[in-house]
Chain A
Amino acid sequence: MTSASAAQGGNATPVARLDRVSLSYGATRALDGVTLDIPAGCMAGLIGPDGVGKSSLLSLLAGAHAIREGRIEALGGDMADVRHRRDACPRIAYMPQGLGKNLYPTLSVFENVDFFGRLFGHSADERRRRIANLLERTGLGPFAGRPAGKLSGGMKQKLGLCCALIHDPDLLILDEPTTGVDPLSRRQFWDLIDAIRAERPGMSVLVATAYMEEAARFDWLAAMDDGRVLATGSPAELLARASAATLDAAFIALLPPEKREGYRPVEIVPREADARSTLAIEADGLTMRFGDFMAVDHVDLRVSEGEIFGFLGSNGCGKTTTMKMLTGLLPASEGRARLFGREVDPRDIETRRNVGYMSQAFSLYSELTVRQNLELHARLFSLPEATIPARVEESARRFDLADVLDALPDALPLGVRQRLSLAVALIHGPKLLILDEPTSGVDPVARDALWRVLIELARRDRVTIFISTHFMNEAERCDRISLMHAGKVLITDTPAGITARRGAATLEDAFVAYLEEAIADGAPAAPPAPATVAAPTPERPAAPERRRLLFDHRRMLSYTRREALELRRDPIRATLAMVGSMLLMLVIGYGVNMDVENLSFAILDRDGTTTSRDYALDIAGSRYFDVKPPIADYDDLDRRMRAGELSLAIEIPPGFAEDVARGRNVAIAAWIDGAMPTRAETVRGYVQGLHAHWLTEKARALLGARAAAAAFSVETRYRYNPNVASLVAIAPAVIPLLLMLIPAMLAALSVVREKELGSIVNLYVTPVTRLEFLVGKQIPYVALAMLNVLLLWLVAILIFRVPFTGSFFAFVSAGLLYVMASTALGLLISTFMESQIAAIFGTAVLTIVPAVQFSGMIDPVSSLQGFGAVIGQIYPTTHFMTIARGTFSKALDVHDLRGSFLPLALAAPILLALSATLLKKQAG
């Protein structure tokens, strides 16, 4: 890439052109009127500290974020124009910031690349050839079957690159691709880019980076600060303009004077030799096994108090695991560790006060502002309340957070977030700091500022610092460093000692040499040095006929396949969905009983004659009532009814028998517990029936034939369910209920999860349309739900023994339409929700209540009123419930049920269309 090809200025038309582009997040102005031409066919770089708008610029350019102000032209068209974006996005590849953010962690390396290949419509052969080639050249070949989530940071970035390169883009946009990647992998990464560029000279590459040594090798640079471009030109031009020797220095020189003022180079204060007395960290044979995998292999460490100890190594070599064991987060499989002479014990709360820990990934509360995060941690460490404001102010000043104190961490660039993490780790003034890559993604100026703090802490306050890093200039500032590879410590010495021992020119060379040696020793089938052989890539298919279909089933199926794979990788989810719905059906089927029986009843008999006892016996003898001890008086009646002990109380007045015999008007009083109206109604019906029965019997006995004169009878025929069996009525109603709740929940979470974890960006920047995305994701859940339809049908027939009398075809086809609607409803809910918590709660609220209360399961829809009745009429559950009951109990077929099929068939398309309209195809 040292070639001067691009600098020749042969490419007159820029690949992208920005005209007065601005972007704000709330009150923060990320980009401020940027006007910039990015040259085509070369390696262009954006440099600058964190939070100056590099990432915002790239995501606007890639079409991931909607353009608010200004105009962006890329690949010869306006990026604000939907049509041009649809045409251009297959020619742009975008790799967002963050390790593997757009990858799918449960999918294997091969499957991840394959997914993107399918998305761009390559044929099977073509895909296999391209993937094999890409994996071979990135050295990922041997790991093709490993899940992406289990890759080390460097490998994730290479995989991200493979996914970006699969469709031969004309513009490759990389947002800090080597942040958090070890030096060896970083070298391999850039060699790979060089090799690919050598084959495809027309390709433009635009990279944002915080590594100035990398930027020095680019063809063209734009230095940015505060949402504005400071200067553009080749590295040489920038150096000349600033008359500086290095880009770091040039950049600082280009900054406006007021910003330059604060900068001082890092001064390394040598450690006083006599301080080696007490040991801060001692580890003996520290080992961690995950199954067969040896993550950390008998590591011994000695770090003395006040020392800055550097921990270096390739990605995934066990640095983080070692640190977690030292903090007590992970119990060691073997060996032991001591901090300040005390054994590390997860239950020992007091030692934690001495330790400040910063993990690799940002792990503070994104829902709290910077100030709230600092205050919370200060309080959790029980700093005296009075000192907290001062302490927070001091931290903010030290780590340059004063301007962002009231911002939310998510709105801040990576580098600022890292500074916040460090500030939090230091808030309680610990004696030992364990820092896991604290400077990844932090710009050079801020990094130096951070180091000045670290050195001051170590030298002045004698804080021990145990730090891992990928920056060699940082490693050189450590008192001693350890090189780690594949779970083992290769060497521990002073930086100068290591360089000297290896006879290398720089520490980086020594580092790479050690690693290459270890790799050669460890794995005979080491990944081939990439780019040594530029594998002959076949010509690109001449002028690829890029289809501009509005709906391409291949892109849709690409999502279907991926979703199905993820579902298969998470068997618990599928099993829960299947077994769970069966369990629920059993529980509800057996538990819900519409026959109200065993109602508690007691009598207040103030007559105490044979007639009154006869009346009481008549009720007590029925199977519906369960007699309780008689009621003593009104107080007793009141108390027992209030306690819910009695559902029915009957009072027979004094002189009842006599009045009846003389034909005098007399009234029996019955009190029903109305707290549960349904039950009360049933009780009322029963009592009236029993009373009437007693009267007829009595009348017959007293008056003889005269009573029979007005006699007639009502023959009640319970149709469809002659035994009035509760199960026959309830089972067909539970099936629709379950097929609403569970598929909707699954579908809703599948989309919101992508939003929360970041892979939604693939929807933004690939040619997949919203409808393809939604339907593609929906299909696996529809398939799973169809299995559920059959399973529940079998449970109803085989376990509940509910006769199925109607058309099976009608039931199954309605089932299909219904689960399409319920999953589509889940998708619709997901378009509103940003967090998974809200999606779970929203789905529960928006499915359980309508399905249980408004869909005719208990009260028929026709007798509902108000808004509930309106929901009941249109909710798909209502219609499927009619069909389920019709096919189970009423022997009906499709023709008989056409009135319910029509609304059911309309539900899914309407819901999907709504979801597609509401889903955003761009962020912002």
Chain B
Amino acid sequence: MRASTVFHLGVKELRGLLRDPMLLILIAYAFTLSVYTGATALPETLNKAPIAIVDEDSSPLSVRVTSAFYPPYFVAPKVITKSEMDQRMDAGLDAFALDIPANFQRDLLAGRAPAIQLNVDATRMTQAFSGAGYVQSIVSEEVAAFADRYRSSAALPVDLTLRARFNPELNKGWFGAVMNVINNVTMLSIVLAGAALIREREHGTIEHLLVMPITPAEIMVSKVWSMSLVVLLASAFSIVVVVQGVLRVPIEGSIALFMLGTALQLFATTSMGVFLATLAGSMPQFGLLLMLVLLPLQVLSGGTTPRESMPEIVQTLMLAAPNTHFVMLAQAVLYRGAGFDVVWPQFLALFAIGVALFAFSLGRFRKSLA
């Protein structure tokens, strides 16, 4: 392999990219506006959960409970009748409906242990699951405080001080911003490397390269380095300017370490792009293959839902995907301020996956040319 050939072929790729203004606009969009919109759209914890209350008691206590729900966690609750409740939940207007039964206050004070009914729209995924807990604890607090005014305290004086480390406000935007950058890194690197190869094939230029003193390895390395460089620069810009600057997400760890990890991730994903290109016969096929690979990579890597709760087999299989390690690495370095001493296993895994993918893709690429 000759360094100058690899260099010049790579420069050629970069020049080609400059000739596609629409593609440049898209790259810019993906790493700036898309990241910004994605991050700011995400609700901060439970945000504006629609709640309705059926107040059959109309007592001071039930009014107290009703007034305990207010923005930004909840929308100001709608007081509705029992018959409206089903209809509104069917239409998806309310995520929660709290039914305070008649004589609730009287029964409570009389020690008859009355029950409040909380209806949750369980099709609402995250909001349903975490929101139900909130509603319960708010109701409990209000009822306990109310009860305290009438009776002496019966509770134990044990407090639970909860602190969320690394993101004390549990601001989802912080998380979403970095995950969007990561998803874009994966998507763009696969698209650019793979499509660059298919383009050469569809336009017949690959043939031209092969009658010259150039090896398939040189062609592949040139695509890997040039496309990685583009994505690396774009993601560095995105992390420093958009995430840190505009979105004001505090970055705990070393950005340089994260970029080093990104470079390894890019080595693996651009190789994957080349691999997909050898599988696909044409651009439309490549487009479909891309969707097939990209979605599982994004959804199952731990960047969307926690890895711990995935089935064991999915967790194990996803260890073979570079994204899984990259997401771990990004979280550890950017949020938890971890250093190389902590994240070296992820670096090692990324490197190993990258080398394996590169070798495999190169083998397939060579074969596809013969």
B208, CB-defined interface residue at 8 Å: yes
B288 CB contact (under 8 Å) in A576, A679, A896: A576
In the complex, A680 Cα to B20 Cα: how many Å?
43
Q: Nearest CB to that of A862 among chain B residues? A: B50
What 1/0 flags go to B20-40 for Cβ under 8 Å of A? Answer: 101100110110001001101
B115 CB contact (under 8 Å) in A665, A672, A680, A713: A713
What 1/0 flags go to B107-133 for Cβ under 8 Å of A? Answer: 010010111111111111111111011
Query: Which A residues, 768 to 802, have Cβ-Cβ distances below 8 Å to chain B?
Result: none
Given contacts A676-B331, A681-B130, A719-B89, contact A706 B154 (CB under 8 A): yes
B16, CB-defined interface residue at 8 Å: yes
Cβ B129 vs Cβ A724 within 8 A: yes
Determine which residue in A379, A380, A577, A852 has the highest number of CB atoms from chain B within 10 A of its CB, and name it. Answer: A380
Given contacts A591-B311, A745-B291, contact A750 B284 (CB under 8 A): yes
In the complex, A868 Cα to B47 Cα: how many Å?
14
What 1/0 flags go to A678-713 for Cβ under 8 Å of B? Answer: 111110111111011001001100110011111111
Given contacts A667-B161, A681-B45, A844-B191, contact A594 B342 (CB under 8 A): no
B256, CB-defined interface residue at 8 Å: no
Residues of A in contact, count (CB < 8 Å): 164
A263, CB-defined interface residue at 8 Å: no
Shortest C-beta distance, B80 to chain A (Å), equals: 15
B residues in contact with A595, CB < 8 Å: 129, 309
Given contacts A591-B314, A708-B113, contact A841 B172 (CB under 8 A): no
In the complex, A832 Cα to B29 Cα: how many Å?
14
B residues in contact with A542, CB < 8 Å: none
Query: Which B residues, 346 to 370, have Cβ-Cβ distances below 8 Å to chain A?
Result: 370
A673 CB contact (under 8 Å) in B165, B290, B298: B165
What 1/0 flags go to B179-209 for Cβ under 8 Å of A? Answer: 0100110011001100110010011110111
B residues in contact with A867, CB < 8 Å: 37, 40-41
Cβ A868 vs Cβ B38 within 8 A: yes
Given contacts A711-B113, A724-B122, contact A329 B38 (CB under 8 A): no
Cβ A719 vs Cβ B119 within 8 A: yes
Q: Nearest CB to that of A699 among chain B residues? A: B156
Determine which residue in A377, A679, A710 has the highest number of CB atoms from chain B within 10 A of its CB, and name it. Answer: A710
Cβ B205 vs Cβ A365 within 8 A: yes
In the complex, A886 Cα to B281 Cα: how many Å?
40
Q: Nearest CB to that of B146 among chain A residues? A: A710
What 1/0 flags go to A594-613 for Cβ under 8 Å of B? Answer: 11111110000000000000
In the complex, A848 Cα to B179 Cα: how many Å?
13
In the complex, A194 Cα to B115 Cα: how many Å?
96
Cβ B115 vs Cβ A714 within 8 A: yes
Q: Nearest CB to that of B147 among chain A residues? A: A710
A858 CB contact (under 8 Å) in B2, B126, B207, B332: B126
What 1/0 flags go to B211-248 for Cβ under 8 Å of A? Answer: 11111000000000000000000000000000000000
Cβ B308 vs Cβ A864 within 8 A: no
A746 CB contact (under 8 Å) in B20, B42, B175, B284: B284
B53, CB-defined interface residue at 8 Å: no
Query: Which A residues, 726 to 766, have Cβ-Cβ distances below 8 Å to chain B?
Result: 728-730, 732-733, 741-742, 745-746, 748-750, 753, 756
Cβ A359 vs Cβ B9 within 8 A: no
B260, CB-defined interface residue at 8 Å: no
Given contacts A327-B211, A745-B291, contact A841 B157 (CB under 8 A): no
Shortest C-beta distance, A777 to chain B (Å), equals: 13
Cβ A840 vs Cβ B165 within 8 A: no
What 1/0 flags go to B131-170 for Cβ under 8 Å of A? Answer: 0111111011001100110010011111111111111101
A642, CB-defined interface residue at 8 Å: yes
In the complex, A686 Cα to B144 Cα: how many Å?
20
In the complex, A577 Cα to B205 Cα: how many Å?
29
In the complex, A583 Cα to B202 Cα: how many Å?
29
B328, CB-defined interface residue at 8 Å: yes
In the complex, A733 Cα to B92 Cα: how many Å?
14
Cβ A853 vs Cβ B41 within 8 A: yes
Cβ B4 vs Cβ A379 within 8 A: yes
Query: Which A residues, 803 to 843, have Cβ-Cβ distances below 8 Å to chain B?
Result: 832-843
Cβ A380 vs Cβ B9 within 8 A: yes
In the complex, A711 Cα to B34 Cα: how many Å?
49
Cβ A865 vs Cβ B335 within 8 A: no
A641, CB-defined interface residue at 8 Å: yes
Cβ A573 vs Cβ B285 within 8 A: yes
What 1/0 flags go to A521-552 for Cβ under 8 Å of B? Answer: 00000000000000000000000000000000
Q: Nearest CB to that of B253 among chain A residues? A: A642
A residues in contact with B319, CB < 8 Å: none
A674 CB contact (under 8 Å) in B95, B114, B164, B370: B164
Cβ B122 vs Cβ A678 within 8 A: no
Cβ A663 vs Cβ B157 within 8 A: yes
A residues in contact with B191, CB < 8 Å: 837, 840-841, 844
Shortest C-beta distance, B37 to chain A (Å), equals: 5
A residues in contact with B172, CB < 8 Å: 677-678
Cβ A896 vs Cβ B90 within 8 A: yes
A residues in contact with B130, CB < 8 Å: 678, 681-682, 685
Shortest C-beta distance, B87 to chain A (Å), equals: 9
A residues in contact with B144, CB < 8 Å: 710
A357, CB-defined interface residue at 8 Å: yes
In the complex, A262 Cα to B275 Cα: how many Å?
52
Determine which residue in A681, A748, A872 has the highest number of CB atoms from chain B within 10 A of its CB, and name it. Answer: A681
A residues in contact with B292, CB < 8 Å: 576, 580, 583-584
In the complex, A840 Cα to B43 Cα: how many Å?
30
Determine which residue in A352, A592, A753, A889 has the highest number of CB atoms from chain B within 10 A of its CB, and name it. Answer: A592
What 1/0 flags go to A421-444 for Cβ under 8 Å of B? Answer: 000000000000000000000000
B residues in contact with A832, CB < 8 Å: 22
Cβ B122 vs Cβ A719 within 8 A: yes
B residues in contact with A872, CB < 8 Å: 41
Q: Nearest CB to that of B50 among chain A residues? A: A862
B63, CB-defined interface residue at 8 Å: no
B282, CB-defined interface residue at 8 Å: yes
A residues in contact with B199, CB < 8 Å: 835-837
B residues in contact with A329, CB < 8 Å: 207, 210-211
A892, CB-defined interface residue at 8 Å: yes
In the complex, A864 Cα to B124 Cα: how many Å?
13
Given contacts A367-B15, A745-B288, A845-B30, contact A381 B211 (CB under 8 A): no
What 1/0 flags go to A342-363 for Cβ under 8 Å of B? Answer: 0000100110110101010111
A845 CB contact (under 8 Å) in B121, B187, B196, B208: B187
Determine which residue in B12, B163, B296 has the highest number of CB atoms from chain A within 10 A of its CB, and name it. Answer: B12
B residues in contact with A328, CB < 8 Å: 211
Cβ B157 vs Cβ A665 within 8 A: yes
A671, CB-defined interface residue at 8 Å: yes
In the complex, A749 Cα to B148 Cα: how many Å?
67
In the complex, A165 Cα to B271 Cα: how many Å?
49
Cβ A382 vs Cβ B289 within 8 A: no
Query: Which A residues, 570 to 599, have Cβ-Cβ distances below 8 Å to chain B?
Result: 570, 572-573, 576-577, 580, 583-584, 587-588, 590-599
B165 CB contact (under 8 Å) in A357, A674, A708: A674
Cβ A642 vs Cβ B299 within 8 A: no
Cβ B123 vs Cβ A890 within 8 A: yes
Given contacts A663-B157, A667-B160, A864-B42, contact A644 B336 (CB under 8 A): yes
A505, CB-defined interface residue at 8 Å: no
B5, CB-defined interface residue at 8 Å: yes
Cβ A680 vs Cβ B164 within 8 A: yes
B49, CB-defined interface residue at 8 Å: yes
Shortest C-beta distance, B95 to chain A (Å), equals: 7
B residues in contact with A858, CB < 8 Å: 125-126, 304
Cβ B164 vs Cβ A672 within 8 A: yes
- List 3 tightest A-B contacts by C-beta distance, closest first: A868-B41, A685-B133, A674-B167
19 pairs from A and B in contact (CB 8 Å cutoff): A324-B207, A329-B207, A362-B204, A364-B205, A365-B12, A576-B285, A584-B292, A591-B299, A642-B337, A667-B159, A688-B162, A699-B154, A712-B104, A713-B115, A724-B122, A729-B125, A840-B191, A841-B26, A864-B42
